[in-house]
A and B are shown apart, each in its own frame.
Chain A
Amino acid sequence: MDNNDFSLSVALAAIEPSFAWCIGCGSCTATCSAAQFTEFNPRKINLLIQRGEVAAIKQELKKCMLCGKCQLICPRDVNTRKIIQNLKRIMQ
């Protein structure tokens, strides 16, 4: 953990800090359109950002269809779609 790369979470925090509000309830993953067909797991992505495990995220991100369901059901009003959107831009 001490040698993880937190640059991404720092960069993202400047644009959209709400990823840190996640309580890991997993409802985003439960509702995710992509998650019914794949292992895609928005909850985990959100977590990996916080843990600075960037490498794992990149491939995963590509599965998101940006449909925005996650946003509608998040109990903590995490701006999930904006987060993914910006991640895509940062990592591109």
Chain B
Amino acid sequence: MIRHFDPFVLPFIVGFTFLLTALAVLYSRWFIQLEAGSHPKILSAFFSLKTLNAIKEVFLECLIHRKIFKINPMLGYMHMSLAFGWFLLILFGKLETFIYTGRFANAIYYPIFFRFFELNPHQSALLNFFNISMDLLLLFVLSGVCLAIIKRFKSRVTGLKQTTKHTAGDRWALSTLWLIFPLRLLSESLTAAFSGNGSIITQPLGDFLGSFLPAQQLAYISWWGYSVCLGGFMAALPFSRYMHIPTEIFLIFLRNWGIFTNKKYSGVSNFELHACSRCGICIDVCPVNNESGRRTTQMVYFLRDLREKKLKHSITENCMMCGRCEQVCPVAIPLTTQRQIQRDKSMQKPFSDFSYLERISYNANEPKTEVLYFAGCMSHLTPGIRQSMIKILEASGIKYSFLDEKGPICCGRPLKLSGKTEEAQILSEKNRTLIMASGAHTLVTSCPICYKSFKEDYHLNIKILHHTEFIDQLLVKKQIAIQRSDEKIAYHDPCELGRGSAIYNQPRQIIRRVGQLVKHPDERENARCCGGSLANLSVTTSERNEIQQSVSSYLSSQPCDIIATACPMCKKSIGRFAEKPVKDIAELVASGLDESFMNEKAIKNQKYNELIFE
């Protein structure tokens, strides 16, 4: 009968058991911390397709790493070889032992150190097949390890500009991880050298090594090393970025069952937090990092600090909240939400007095107004936009009134973004009452910032449109017409409008009617942040300027005559440095209005109102 124990397996067993207990404790705690109402939700969703989807997603994301592949194949392969390869090693190992012993239940370490315990070469073809494939898989994984090592020292090879800085836990886990597979190869080869139980790779390598080394003694040492590294890695895992490996799996299930972080920090937030693999993809896209080389505030660091409970104000605040990182996060963590929650926390008791707003009231300039136009603070600094909107509204012949003609009350979003939710509510309440008092059935604003807060925080039971949506409708319903010019126009998606409110098409449809739309790499979801964002509370002016400058020069370098955008803030930020004219879509439309058409249709506008505002 065969030997089934040797002291060198102990490190592995210790590490493994530690890992299991650690995870068990943490996960169950977080699971309990889930927001009220989540648990029944999970129960109901458990036996449904959602679970199957989750499994599929786990396979695709956690093993194959589809997302990363999309972003950059090299990186994708690296992750896949490590994750999927390792997974297969375990799977095949298990099968091999099963077939070999005929028993399914074996000591947990048995498959892993199989070649140590079973020295006689396989006889059956089937077993040899496993032996071969195990060797190939090992090669597969090792290729990943190599890439990882290269990445660490020459990150650009894998297409990443920067890679994350590491903590102690990380470094320990990382170095053990790197050693695991080379050691496995070494141990198996050396063992093969004197027992001949190797296969296509291990055997020749073993024979070669054995030709000049005392294989037997070294093999035993190497097996020790292998076990120690395995155990060490598992022990370090809960304290390292590799925590993301198990956590992500759970997160995917939770997400598929419809559990997300909302306004408050909850158990699921913990899962999200620990699901961050610190892959560093968010660093490259971060405007603050790109232009100003600030390497402390990006999401990966934010989450790390949060995890290690040493998060600083300045970090929480130094973010444009442009949402680009969220867009590319392979783990799809709701990053901006996470940061917003921390901002809310950082702000203590309210410190505002808006009593002066009480005096203001809505006085309708006409009995019934259908459309209410709200320019917003920023649009008051870009009269071009304001005037164009008036011109368009006049042309459309709709009964409208201009809510903040005399100057606006802030929509409250800037306050909210700075974590002063309660105070923001005072402002939104005030605006809300004014808006409702107008009796309009549609609210149109020129400012994406206002637009977003109207949509999210105002609970208005009337139609809310950004002026791009509104103008688009006017054009579709032939309420206004424009003469098309052959100017080339590149469109810059404002964060709050694009990623923020998923409005990508209307602006482009309008532009196609005005002139020729020029495509460019960083558009739609990948649009850059103009640097003007009010969300960043600690960026210095010069840093801000750097961001604005690079965005401007990027856009100016596109093959276009005009840079178009749909946000007063973007217009100002880009306009400050751009070498090409920067126009708001409203301005483009207003200047291209087809007067003759106007006159004909002026009569029909009553019908139009029935059409869109049923």
Direct contact of A and B (CB under 8 A): yes
Contact of B378 among A18, A66, A69, A81 (CB under 8 A): A69
Least CB distance from A77 to B in Å reads: 4
Q: Which residues between 46 and 92 of chain A lie within 8 Å of chain B, taking CB atoms?
A: 59, 61-69, 72-73, 77-79, 81-82, 85, 88-89, 91-92
Known: A65-B415, A69-B377, A69-B380. A79 touches B541 (CB 8 A): yes
Q: Is the CB of B377 within 8 A of A33?
A: yes
Q: How far is the CB of A8 from chain B (nearest CB, A)?
A: 15
Contacting pair A92 B348 (CB below 8 A): yes
The stretch of B69-77, B117-125, B351-359, B494-502 that contacts the partner chain: B351-359
Tell whether, in the assembled complex, residue B541 and residue A18 are in contact, meaning their CB atoms are under 8 Å apart.
yes
Chain A residues whose CB sits within 8 angstroms of the CB of B538 once the complex forms: 82
Bound-state CA distance A69–B569 (Å) is 10
Per-residue A-contact encoding for B371-414, CB less than 8 Å = 1, 0 else: 00000011011000000000000000000000000111110101
A65 touches B541 (CB 8 A): no
Chain A residues with Cβ below 8 Å from B354 are 62-63, 65
The residue that A63 contacts in the complex, of B353, B360, B534, with Cβ under 8 A, is: B353
- Tell me if B459 counts as interface (CB < 8 A to partner A): no
Is the C-beta of B537 less than 8 angstroms from some C-beta in chain A?
yes
Give every chain A residue within 8 A of B572 (Cβ-Cβ): 72
Tell me the A8-58 residues at the B interface (CB within 8 Å): 16, 18, 31, 33-34, 36-38
Contact B414 A62 (CB under 8 A): no
B349/A92 in contact, CB under 8 A = yes
Asked if A77 and B349 sit within 8 Å, CB to CB, the answer is no
B406:A79 contact, CB within 8 angstroms: no
Q: For the complex, what is the distance from the CA of A3 to the CA of B353, rounded to whole Å?
A: 29
Contact A67 B410 (CB under 8 A): yes
Contact partner, B357, options A37, A67, A68, Cβ 8 Å: A37
Main secondary structure of the interface of B (DSSP, over half): loop
A78 CB contacts on chain B under 8 angstroms: 541
Once bound together, how far apart are the Cα atoms of A36 and B359, in whole Å?
Answer: 12
Q: Which residues of A contact B351 (CB under 8 A)?
A: 61-62, 88, 91-92
* B21: Cβ under 8 A from any A Cβ: no
Complex Cα–Cα for A48 and B381 (A): 26
What A residues does B410 contact at CB under 8 A? 33, 65-67
Residues of A within 8 A of B532 (CB): 72
Given the complex of chains A and B, what is the CA–CA distance between A18 and B545 in angstroms?
A: 15
Chain A: minimal CB distance from B125 (Å) = 73
Contact B407 A72 (CB under 8 A): no
Determine the interface band of chain B, counting residues with CB < 8 A from chain A: 35 or more
Q: Which residues of B contact A91 (CB under 8 A)?
A: 351
Q: Which residues of B contact A73 (CB under 8 A)?
A: 381
Contacts between the two chains (Cβ within 8 Å), count: 83
User: Smallest Cβ distance from A10 to chain B, in angstroms?
Assistant: 18
Cβ-closest chain B residue relative to A78? B541
In the complex, the chain A residue whose C-beta lies closest to that of B404 is A33
Chain B hits for A62, CB < 8 A: 351-354
Contacts of A65 in B (CB 8 A): 354, 409-410, 412, 414-415, 427
Most chain B CB inside 10 Å of its own CB: which residue of A18, A62, A65: A65
Q: Which has the most chain A C-beta neighbours within 10 Å: B348, B349, B418? A: B418
* Shortest Cβ distance from B347 into A: residue: A89
**Also in contact, A79 and B540, with CB within 8 A (given A61-B351, A67-B377):** yes
B537 touches A82 (CB 8 A): yes
Asked, given contacts A33-B410, A92-B348, whether A69 binds B381 with beta carbons under 8 Å apart, the answer is yes
- CB contacts (< 8 Å) of B408 on chain A: these are 33, 67
Q: Which residue of B lies closest to A21 (CB)?
A: B541
Measured between beta carbons, the chain A residues less than 8 angstroms from B353 are: 59, 62-63
Measured CB to CB, the closest approach of chain A to B340, in angstroms, equals: 15
- Distance from A57 Cβ to chain B, minimum over Cβ atoms (Å): 12
Set of chain B residues within 8 Å of A77, measured between Cβ atoms: 541-542, 545
Provide the bound-state CA to CA distance between A34 and B381, in Å. 15
- Min C-beta distance of B374 to chain A, whole Å: 13
Least CB distance from A86 to B in Å reads 8
A73 to B532 alpha-carbon distance, docked (Å):
12
Question: Which of A64, A67, A69, A81 is the most central at the interface, judged by chain B CB atoms within 10 Å of its CB?
Answer: A67
B378 close to A72 (CB less than 8 A): yes
A36 engages B378 (CB within 8 Å): no
Chain A residues near B360: list those with CB within 8 A.
Answer: 37
The answer for the CA separation of A36 and B353 in the assembled complex, in Å, is 15
Question: Can you pick out 19 interface pairs between chain A and chain B where the beta carbons lie within 8 Å of each other?
Answer: A33-B408, A59-B353, A61-B351, A62-B353, A63-B353, A65-B410, A65-B412, A65-B415, A66-B410, A66-B414, A66-B418, A67-B377, A67-B408, A67-B410, A68-B377, A77-B541, A81-B534, A85-B537, A91-B351
Give the interface of A toward B (CB within 8 A): 16, 18, 31, 33-34, 36-38, 59, 61-69, 72-73, 77-79, 81-82, 85, 88-89, 91-92
Given A33-B407, A77-B545, A82-B537, 12 more contacts at CB 8 Å? A18-B540, A31-B380, A63-B353, A64-B352, A65-B414, A68-B534, A69-B377, A72-B532, A72-B572, A81-B534, A81-B537, A92-B349
Query: Interface of B with A (CB < 8 Å)?
Result: 313, 348-349, 351-354, 356-357, 359-360, 377-378, 380-381, 406-410, 412, 414-415, 418, 420, 427, 532, 534, 537-542, 545, 569, 572
The 10 closest A-B pairs by CB, nearest first: A62-B353, A65-B410, A67-B410, A67-B377, A77-B541, A36-B407, A38-B356, A66-B414, A68-B534, A62-B352
